[in-house]
Amino acid sequence: MAESEVEHTVLKSVGEMPLPEEVRDLYAADSTEPPLFETRQPAQVFADLFATALERSDVLAVSARQKARLGEYAPAIDMTLALLLLARAPSVQRRGLGWRTLAEWLDAVEHESVWLQMTDLDTPAQRLYCSVDSKAIGHGLEAPNSAPSLVMLRLVKA
């Protein structure tokens, strides 16, 4: 699998982390193949260590998953910046604050392409991103509404 087909995610809370059984099964699937030819016992040891680590508050993990939903567009977000969060209080909606904040940030990163994930519902946020030349390129991980998130990309203007 090419690096451009992999999505890396930092997981910081226990609710985001895989279950110890998933860690066991993944390790077992990988380590039983050559050159290791291990039994499932080491996989269980690593799962137990992971379960113990989950009891701590200072643990984080990195998850790498195939970006299959983006298909041919997956390489488009390589080497780009990600807009992780843009939010405003409901009490100040419809005052242009979100647009001005986004525009200022985009000006600051004007030489970089930017991508983001959001719900695929027609929302003011989606219309805002479209207004600054972001284009939907496909779907990513599940959004809070349990539907695949919409991945939008804004390319650097030449």
Domains of the chain: 7-66 (no CATH), 68-154 (3.40.630.30)
CA dist 78 and 7 (Å) reads 10
Q: Beta strand pairing status for 61-66 and 6-11?
A: antiparallel
Query: Is residue 92 predicted with pLDDT exceeding 80?
Result: no
Query: Is residue 143 predicted with pLDDT exceeding 80?
Result: no
What is the reported pLDDT for 91?
A: 80
- For 47-50, which contacts have Cβ atoms below 8 Å and span 24 or more sequence positions? 47/20, 47/21, 47/23, 48/20, 50/20, 50/23
Q: At 21, is the secondary structure helix, strand, or coil?
A: helix
Query: Is residue 158 predicted with pLDDT exceeding 70?
Result: no
Each residue of 99-112: b (16+ CB within 10 Å) or e?
Answer: eeebeeebeeeeee
Who wins on pLDDT, 85 or 116?
116
pLDDT digits (tens, 9 = 90+) for 116-141: 888 888 888 899 999 999 999 988 77
Query: Locate tokens 């137990």: which residue?
Result: 48
Residue 66: phi and psi, rounded to 5, are -65, 135
Cα angle 96, 124, 128 (rounded to 5 degrees) comes to: 60
pLDDT digits (tens, 9 = 90+) for 26-48: 888 877 777 667 788 888 988 89
